[in-house]
Homo-oligomer: A and B are copies of this chain.
């Protein structure tokens, strides 16, 4: 029996922003929420306790990566992702499509072949042959026992013609129908809106995906090369059409300055590797800036990364120590920076939730962005 629901708790009076709660078999997600990425069944460098400690309610696992290593069948034999990773909270998986289409963009291009049936490709690890279809994407996500599944879609790259974008979108729609038919109703299913940066296509796709009556709706094909202005336009077009009562997930977006735009459009959840990826190269959020902790400037700085932060890293270590760990390439560096950046992101959104509740979202967003660097 499906244990999934979405409830809107409060609506902003001046924008599409809303407070809500997504309920799953593995717990609740207070929305809006940032969803960290745990690509290979690990939020890089963190234990499950730390993932929770920084304020994470749900994270993202990539079906493509699970299919390559360790293999879906192994995760299934171990009892699914929750048991495998020892995480008892909600998990969202993607369809596997995005990574496969990403392969198509780089040197592996000849390894990827798209047909009506699905996408054939070779593993980036060992060159082994694989084929993803809507049906196997659904079977994989079910085997992973994630709480929220995403329909298999054709991820249109940025810069294609209107004609190609239409063909890609139409394939996405046919695959969405097949995904829905193959999907096990015990889990939540999100349809995926495509249509590149074309108004007519995005609106058509939003209408079509909404008509399928899935549990939620994902917006795909963003953060693939378009400008921030184009991204905002896509959100305008799509969110004006999506039914209010369904939870909306923005796939792969979540740089610091995107937070307000997303929430302003009524996006409920969004995932992005940026906070964790920046952390691992020593770029850490501090106030309204992102600072490079490896700079000599911080070599003898006794202050925490962000004096206003309540995370373990800031409560325990100086910039000087973290600077040292990065300079000598010590493993602890990556973890401490990851803990901080994730906590910073979650805390920012906690403040946004409070602002929405107090009808001061726009003011809060404006003030925050005013001196953002």
Subset of 22 A-B contacts with CB under 8 Å: A40-B330, A44-B330, A46-B332, A47-B335, A69-B324, A69-B327, A69-B328, A70-B320, A70-B323, A70-B324, A70-B327, A74-B299, A74-B320, A77-B300, A78-B321, A84-B318, A84-B321, A85-B321, A86-B316, A86-B321, A331-B331, A331-B334
A42-54 interface code vs B (CB 8 A; 1 in, 0 out) = 1011111000000
What's the Cα separation between A47 and B335 when bound, in Å?
Answer: 9
Given known contacts A69-B327, A86-B316, A321-B84, is B47 in contact with A332 (CB within 8 Å)?
Answer: yes
A66 to chain B, nearest CB (A): 10
Is A41 part of the binding interface, using a Cβ–Cβ cutoff of 8 Å?
yes
Closest to A332 in B: B42
Q: Write out the residue numbers on chain B whose beta carbons fall within 8 Å of the beta carbon of A84.
A: 318, 320-321, 324
Asked whether A41 lies within 8 Å of B324 as measured between CB atoms, the reply is yes
Q: Is the CB of A331 within 8 A of B77?
A: no
| Smallest Cβ-Cβ distance to A65: which chain B residue | B328
Q: Are B70 and A331 touching (Cβ within 8 A)?
A: no
Which positions 61-117 of chain A face chain B at CB distance < 8 Å?
A: 65, 69-70, 74, 77-78, 84-86
Give the total of A residues in contact with B, Cβ under 8 Å: 36
Partner of A78, one of B47, B300, B332: B300
Closest chain B residue to A336 by CB distance? B47
A145 to chain B, nearest CB (A): 15
Contacts from A to B (Cβ < 8 Å): 40-42, 44-48, 65, 69-70, 74, 77-78, 84-86, 299-300, 302, 312, 316-318, 320-321, 323-325, 327-328, 330-332, 334-335
Interface centre among A317, A324, A330, A334 (most CB of B within 10 A): A324
Residue of B with least CB distance to A330: B42
| Distance in angstroms between the alpha carbons of A193 and B327 in the assembled complex | 34
A83 to chain B, nearest CB (A): 8
| Chain B residues near A45 (CB-CB < 8 A) | 331-332, 335
A51 CB to nearest B CB, Å: 11
Residues of chain B within 8 A (CB-CB) of A327 are: 69-70
Most chain B Cβ neighbours within 10 Å, of A41, A70, A74, A316? A70
Q: Cβ of A334: which chain B residues have Cβ within 8 Å of it? A: 331
Please tell me if the beta carbons of A325 and B78 are within 8 angstroms of each other in the complex.
no
8 shortest interchain CB distances as A-B pairs: A45-B331, A70-B324, A40-B328, A86-B316, A42-B330, A42-B332, A69-B328, A74-B300
Partner of A44, one of B41, B70, B331: B331
